[in-house]
Amino acid sequence: MSTYKAVESIINGNFYFEFGMQNRILNLTQLARLIKPLVCKRLDKEVEISSIKMALSRLQIQIKDKIIPHKLLVEEVSIKKNLCSLTLYKTRENQESVSKFQNYCSQKEKFFTRSESNKEIAITFSQDLILELSRYNLQNFKFIQKDLGAVLVSIPVEYINIKGVFQFFIQKITMQNINLVEIGSTYTELIFYMHEKDLSLAANTFLDLQS
């Protein structure tokens, strides 16, 4: 693989890179420094910054005629308030107890999400059910955070294969100086968890992206 092909494979399909190069708002030398580790990894050898910049210059000429949207749109925006986040150690007992609590939340039609890693279980649920936890014998709480909210954003299915699509929406939030506590997703829906005080600003930021 040539240096140009390696650079092309990194840039093509990445919304931020393509948009920035098409509109000439990226410094190619700085971009070359940024992607150098990626290029070297793909080629399995050391590559000079000047060679990467030359490849970027060639690619920028080709990108100028490519149709790249100035912004990505959202289909729907909704808000969930009065949430609580709980992280506990992943044990069989906790998994079973969390499943029972999840069923209870479902029966009450209350908000509930769950994610698991190798060592932890994290759940987010309606804060008004926090006293119910004592009934489910959850053990070894690691962290609990109250007074949270979530902004749920539905995106077109066509965006799924766009490189950098998650970063685009995350940047919209971080540029507003909003601290994201956690991020979740399904196939076409992104869930941004934050402190309740930031919900209105975050929701309005995404509402501006509706067609």
Q: What is the pLDDT along the chain (211 residues), one digit of tens a residue?
A: 899 999 999 988 677 788 788 878 889 999 999 999 999 999 999 999 999 999 999 998 887 766 555 567 899 999 999 999 999 999 999 999 999 999 999 999 999 999 999 999 999 999 999 988 889 988 888 899 999 999 999 999 988 887 778 888 888 888 899 999 999 999 999 999 999 999 999 999 999 888 6
Residue 181 host element (H or E): strand 180-185
* CA gap 123, 116 in Å, rounded: 9
Q: Is 125 helix (H, G, I), strand (E, B) or coil?
A: strand
Q: Give the separation between CA 22 and CA 18, rounded to whole angstroms.
A: 6
Contact yes or no for 149/77 (Cβ under 8 A): no
Task: Specify the DSSP element, H or E, that contains 112.
Answer: strand 112-116
Q: Comparing C-alpha atoms, which of 74, 50, 55 is closest to residue 11?
A: 55
Place of tokens 């994290």: 122
pTM confidence score: 0.71
Q: How far, rounded to the nearest angstrom, does the alpha carbon of residue 136 sit from its chain's CA centroid?
A: 31
